[in-house]
Amino acid sequence: MSRLTAPLPTDMPSVIVACTMLTIIENISPVFLVIGLGYLSRKLGFLPDSFIQSANRLVYYIAIPILIFGEISRGNFAESFNPGQIGATFLVVAVIFFLSLGIGGAMRLPPGGRATFSQTSFHGNLGYVGLAVVFYVLGNEGRAAASVLAGFLMLFQNFLSISLFTLLAGGGKKLSLGMVWKFLGNPIILATLLGLVFSAGGVRIPGFMTRTFSIVAEMALPLALLIIGGSLKPFSTRRLRLVALSTALKLAILPMAGFFLFRFIHLEPGAAGAAIIFLASPSATISYVMAAEMGGDKDLAAAAVTASTALSIITYTLWIGIMATS
């Protein structure tokens, strides 16, 4: 069980609860300080667009897949693969997916805007922000299980997002073979599946390869956080109501639904904690890319990503505090 998701005594004095919250803030603030450092470095010219683009490819295609593969392949398959956790998390995301679609329809948003509003409401930044919070805040326990959940949740999110833009912004066109291949060829998803094969088969990785993976993996999350910070952009307040509603769905309603469902099904606290952290992650930066390429609302996507990332330090602190004291 994670050190921050362990249940606390019900008669705990308020001063101890306050100390627990201080510990949470001390653990989570470095993650967002590094994001802030990335933003400041971009402003000062230390992180030009050319570097961010190249570093993003390095992190996305090499560093994070190696990190996830290493964690999963070293773990115990029976402990890492948790169908109850994965299924319950999928259910919560699906509920918010349909809820956001209904809200977008009720607000009479155009098809592209409705697709973008819905995607930014459920599609979280798992690979960069979610994993960083899980790894740095929750500690070493359950990393393999969290990595498995991240991979499967990315698969589900991508499926919903591509279907969403195809049916709405794409005018009902069918998925192209190229898009299906791009979807299935996500390096993080492939790393998850390969890691599960190695773990289930008990395949031992030579020591020199394990150490090589560890060296590469150590740069993955810090560099990912710098990239997130460097990619944040100011946004117009013209769509403030939509951005506020999308951010509320993503950072508050989605993890809240997960919290109550996980308690209802008595999901083990460590598994529930990792799932809630992923559900509470800010809107994924790929939302902007998909909006630009598939007929969505680019401005809304950029604004939602920036706002949810900036506010997630507050909501993450609250959610981890709730998990620690419940």
Domain boundaries, the chain: 14-325
- Give mean pLDDT, residues 185-208: 87
Q: pLDDT at position 8, please?
A: 39
The answer as to CATH 1.20.1530.20 being correct for domain 14-325 is yes
Number of C-beta neighbours around residue 198 at 10 A: 18
Residue 201 has, within 13 A of its CA and on its CB side, a CA count of 9
Phi, psi of 283 (to 5 degrees): -55, 140
Nearest to 188 by CA among 135, 260, 131: 131
The reported pLDDT for the residue numbered 176 is 59
How many Å apart are CA 93 and CA 254, to the nearest integer?
Answer: 7
Predicted confidence (pLDDT) per residue in 86-122, tens digit: 999 999 999 999 999 999 999 999 999 999 999 999 9
Q: How many Cβ atoms sit within 10 Å of the Cβ of residue 204?
A: 10
Q: CB–CB of 79/145 below 8 Å?
A: yes
Categorize the per-residue pLDDT at 169 as very low, low, confident or very high, splitting at 50, 70 and 90. Answer: low
Locus of tokens 């604004």: 303
Highest mean pLDDT among 9-13, 46-50, 178-182, 261-265: 261-265
The one-letter amino acid code at 307 reads A
Q: What is the spatial distance between Cα 247 and Cα 66, in angstroms, rounded to a whole number?
A: 31
Answer whether 0.75 is exceeded by the pTM. yes
User: Does residue 172 carry a pLDDT above 50?
Assistant: no
Give per-residue pLDDT as tens, 123-145.
Answer: 999 989 999 999 888 776 668 88
Which distant-in-sequence residues (6+ apart) come within 8 Å of 203 by Cβ? 73, 197
Q: Give yes or no for residue 26 having a pLDDT over 80.
A: yes
Angle between helices 269-279 and 298-325 (to 10 degrees): 160
pLDDT band at 296 (very low <50, low <70, confident <90, very high): confident
Alpha-carbon torsion angle 228, 138, 216, 209, nearest 10: -160
Q: In the prediction, which pLDDT does 69 show?
A: 92
Give residue 94's pLDDT: 98
Find out whether 123 and 246 touch, Cβ atoms under 8 Å. Answer: no
Is the pLDDT at 19 greater than 70? The verdict is: no
Query: Is pLDDT above 80 for 275?
Result: yes
Q: What are the C-alpha distances in Å from 202 to residues 131, 141, 193, 254?
A: 25, 20, 14, 36
Question: Please, what is the angle between helix 187-201 and helix 143-167, to 10°?
Answer: 140
Tell me what pLDDT residue 178 has. 62
Checking if the pLDDT of 13 tops 60, the result is no
